[in-house]
Each structure stands twice: as C-alpha cells, then as structure tokens.
Amino acid sequence: ETGVTQTPRHLVMGMTNKKSLKCEQHLGHNAMYWYKQSAKKPLELMFVYSLEERVENNSVPSRFSPECPNSSHLFLHLHTLQPEDSALYLCASSGWTGDYGYTFGSGTRLTVV
Amino acid sequence: KNEVEQSPQNLTAQEGEFITINCSYSVGISALHWLQQHPGGGIVSLFMLSSGKKKHGRLIATINIQEKHSSLHITASHPRDSAVYICAGNSGTYKYIFGTGTRLKVLA
C-alpha cells in the first residue's frame, strides 16, 4: 500500500450503468488527482482538487463526474460510459502544488462493455 | 509529438546487465520525476530531481537541465526490476507531463 487506496481494483460495467470509483488518502496531502491511463498513451490528467475545490478540469466529458467531499476522499462517478473509456484510472495525492511529487494509488481497471 | 519522450519504448535485458532509460523533454520544467509501474498498475515514485544526480540502491537518476534530458540507470539488473518506467516533468502548479513509458523486461 502506498498510502493512497483505490477501490474497486477492477470494474466491469455496461454502457447504461452508473458506478463510482473511490480514492482515499491519509497522508495529510492537500491536492488529489484523477488520471486516465490508456494503452500506449501517456497518463492523462482528468481532474485536480485542492482543498476540496476543483482547480483543473481537462476537458473531460460530462459522463465523468468527480466529487471531493473532504481532503482525504475523492470519487469519480461514472454514467453512460463508452467502450473507449475502458482504461486504468489512477488516483494520486500531493502537497499543495504537486511540486514535491505525487503518491499514486494502485488504480481501478475499468472495462466498459 | 509528445512533450516528454522516452527511449527505448521496450527493453529486454539479461540479469546483471547495466540498463539506461532516457527521457527528453521540450518544455520548461521545474523538476523531473521517475516513476515505476508494475503489472498490477500501481505507480511508485523512484526519484524527483531538478539538477545533478540522485542514487538509491541500484538506481541512479541524472538530469541535464540545459540539454533537457534525464536518464535512469539500473545497475546489476534483476528480474524484479521488470516494470514500466515513466518520466514526468513538472511544468507548473498541479501540472505534470508524462512520457509514454519504457517497458523493461529483465530475464533470469
């Protein structure tokens, strides 16, 4: 365990389903991130929250909806996804600005059928 | 073209070999991060450096800011080093730009 816990580790969902990914950190970090990792592509930043306020939204489709109820928890709500959304979704946390590096979770492997 | 390029994309080595993975970047960064990703998906931070050289066990990372280039070296490689190695540049507040990774396989 790295200090950032993601659940579930694997998720298979239909295109009409609604599901949520959860991320939790107790490292005292102030910023939390959602990244998408597709095969043979660099990690893509989806959302950044700093002190529960969203500070970055990288043109992510509205079928992905983040929620940060407190600085220790981050959710990614999923609905009406497409097969091309199948990927590894990684959560990370960092200090104030990320200047001193991130701590990543183990990821959720999502398959949309 | 990605702003952070890694080479090689794939690398197979025999146990005990000295390994070098290269990372070049075309944007201004304040620091460069080397990450290791095992088959399960989790990512572990190896180094973060903004100048010079850092060493941890059999791993050495160097960076040349003027040439916008960094290298990760593994001495006396071992099958457990098999993983994907990713470099990432810190290009601003909350902003990291990632390379596509180098897939390393070390054979016993």
Q: How many angstroms away from the CA of A69 is the closest CA of chain B? A: 19
Window 66-85 of B: residues touching A by CB (8 A cutoff) are: none
Strand residue runs (E) in chain B: 4-7, 10-14, 19-25, 31-37, 43-49, 52-56, 59-64, 69-74, 83-92, 95-98, 102-107
- Say whether A42 and B4 touch across the interface (CB within 8 A): yes
From the list A42, A97, A103, the residue facing B45 with the nearest CB is A103
pLDDT in tens, B72-86: 999 999 999 999 999
In tens digits, chain A (113 residues) has pLDDT values of 569 999 999 999 999 899 999 999 989 888 999 999 998 888 999 999 987 888 777 789 999 999 999 989 999 999 999 999 999 999 999 886 655 678 899 999 999 99
